[in-house]
Amino acid sequence: MKAIEITKPGKVVIKDRLVPKIDENEILVKVKAAGICGSDVHIYHGKNAFATYPRVVGHEFVGEVEKVGLQVQNVKVGDRVAIDPVVSCGHCYSCRIGRRNVCKNLNVLGVHRDGGYQEYIAVAATSAHKLPDNISWEIAAMVEPYTIAAQVLDRGRLTATDTVLICGAGPIGLVILQAVKMIGARVAIMDVIESRLKWAKEMGADLVINAKTSDMIKEVMEFTNNEGASLILEATGNVNVLESCIHNIASPAGRVVVLGFSTDLVKIPQVDIMSKELEIIGTRLNNNKFPQVIDWFAKELVQPQKILTHTFNFEETQKAFELNDENPESVCKIVLTF
């Protein structure tokens, strides 16, 4: 079988590998489609602190069950499945309180161990979630990014009465936007790329703000009747944007959900947090959100087809990475097919 290996930063090689063996609690998945995520490209560029090399990346993948281990009950050969990339230890503090996505010994498929950019992969059967037949492989590959949105909504305790600001209209900001509109809250979204803001408008954003050409703080204040946003979802990854959200934009009693993982320092006055009783909330990957998101897809409550802009054969991964890097105006989500 073929596997796409990042042998070292900047180098993608198509390797011949043996089809993996499975143990009694595992399944062998014949990969059908896999999304390209910013973090895959970061690993390709050597900019992910958690990744080691050589690495087969890809944490957004779906496929058909080819073989099952002796003890496997939840899926059978021929099932179409999406794979949750979060692998947790089950016994650390976070696992014990049901928050396996921040497991102390967290392993993410495609980051800490090999992921989905290969023709076959062995995974724990418990990480497989059955897909309905009416969802195509390319669309199903986007279940994982929507689980990020499901986690963000959960962490931020979104309700329809919130006035929301989403910072960043990249694939993740746009997926979150669709999820927020599904719940029905009013939402503004900001970016500096006009075409991404245009997509956001088409996906139902109530206000789009180009931070390059207009004053974000002023616009959000007008949008919220000078109250500030009750829920801010920071998906630019830029710490200056986060500072401004906390200092100038969050309403008293507001919540700020942080998605980015920059190691730059964030400088905010302590009194901002205290005086407004602000909540600054982290969110990472997803905590058992696959069933919920597959249900969103099956009921067409979200529009993943609007996120997918390109597909490539998996043997053209390097070309797809380059397109992703060089064309943020026209590329949203690229899915590799197998």
Ligand X SMILES: NC(=O)c1ccc[n+]([C@@H]2O[C@H](COP(=O)([O-])OP(=O)(O)OC[C@H]3O[C@@H](n4cnc5c(N)ncnc54)[C@H](O)[C@@H]3O)[C@@H](O)[C@H]2O)c1
Question: What residue ranges bind Zn ion (CB under 5 A)?
Answer: 37, 88-89, 92, 95, 103
Evaluated on CA atoms 157, 161, 163, 165, the torsion sign reads positive
Strands (E), 205-259: 207-210, 229-234, 250-258
In angstroms, give the least distance from the CB of 109 to Zn ion: 11
> Which residue reads 């669309």 in tokens?
139
* Residues in 136-195 that interact with ligand X by CB under 6 A: 148, 168-173, 190-193
* Residues in 216-235 that interact with ligand X by CB under 6 A: 235
In angstroms, give the least distance from the CB of 195 to ligand X: 10
Q: Which does 22 bind (CB under 5 to 8 A by kind): Zn ion, ligand X, none?
A: none
Q: Which is nearer to Zn ion, 72 or 259 (CB)?
A: 259
Q: Does 27 bind ligand X (CB under 6 A)?
A: no
- The interface region with ligand X, picked from 15-23, 126-134, 268-276, 281-289 by CB under 6 A, is 281-289
The residue number whose beta carbon is nearest to ligand X equals: 170
Q: Which is nearer to Zn ion, 85 or 254 (CB)?
A: 85
What is the identity of the amino acid at 281? I
> Which residue reads 């049901």 in tokens?
98
Q: Which does 103 bind (CB under 5 to 8 A by kind): ligand X, Zn ion, none?
A: Zn ion
Q: Which does 245 bind (CB under 5 to 8 A by kind): ligand X, Zn ion, none?
A: none
Separation between Cα atoms, residue 178 and residue 293, nearest integer Å: 12
Q: Does 261 bind ligand X (CB under 6 A)?
A: yes
What is the identity of the amino acid at 90? G
Separation between Cα atoms, residue 249 and residue 231, nearest integer Å: 10
In angstroms, give the least distance from the CB of 163 to ligand X: 19
| Environment class of 182 (CB within 10 Å of its CB; exposed 0-12, middle 13-18, buried 19+) | middle
- 89's CB contacts (< 8 A; 6+ apart) are 95, 103, 104, 105
Separation between Cα atoms, residue 238 and residue 244, nearest integer Å: 10
User: Contacts with ligand X: how many residues (CB under 6 A)?
Assistant: 25
Q: Which is nearer to ligand X, 27 or 332 (CB)?
A: 332
Q: Does 294 bind ligand X (CB under 6 A)?
A: no
110, 237, 254, 304: which one binds ligand X (CB under 6 A): 237
Q: Which does 32 bind (CB under 5 to 8 A by kind): ligand X, Zn ion, none?
A: none
Q: Kindly state the tokens that stand for 64.
A: 């058909």
- 319's CB contacts (< 8 A; 6+ apart) are 312
Find the DSSP H helices in 90-158: 93-96, 137-140, 143-156
In angstroms, give the least distance from the CB of 286 to ligand X: 8
Q: Which does 217 bind (CB under 5 to 8 A by kind): ligand X, Zn ion, none?
A: none
- 326's CB contacts (< 8 A; 6+ apart) are none
In angstroms, give the least distance from the CB of 148 to ligand X: 5
Q: Kindly state the tokens that stand for 190.
A: 């900001």
147, 236, 244, 251: which one binds ligand X (CB under 6 A): 236
Separation between Cα atoms, residue 151 and residue 144, nearest integer Å: 11
Q: Does 196 bind ligand X (CB under 6 A)?
A: yes
Helices (H) and strands (E) in the chain, counts: 11, 17
Q: Does 38 bind ligand X (CB under 6 A)?
A: yes
284, 292, 311, 322: which one binds ligand X (CB under 6 A): 284
Binding site for ligand X (CB under 6 A): 38, 148, 168-173, 190-193, 196, 211, 235-238, 241, 259-261, 283-285
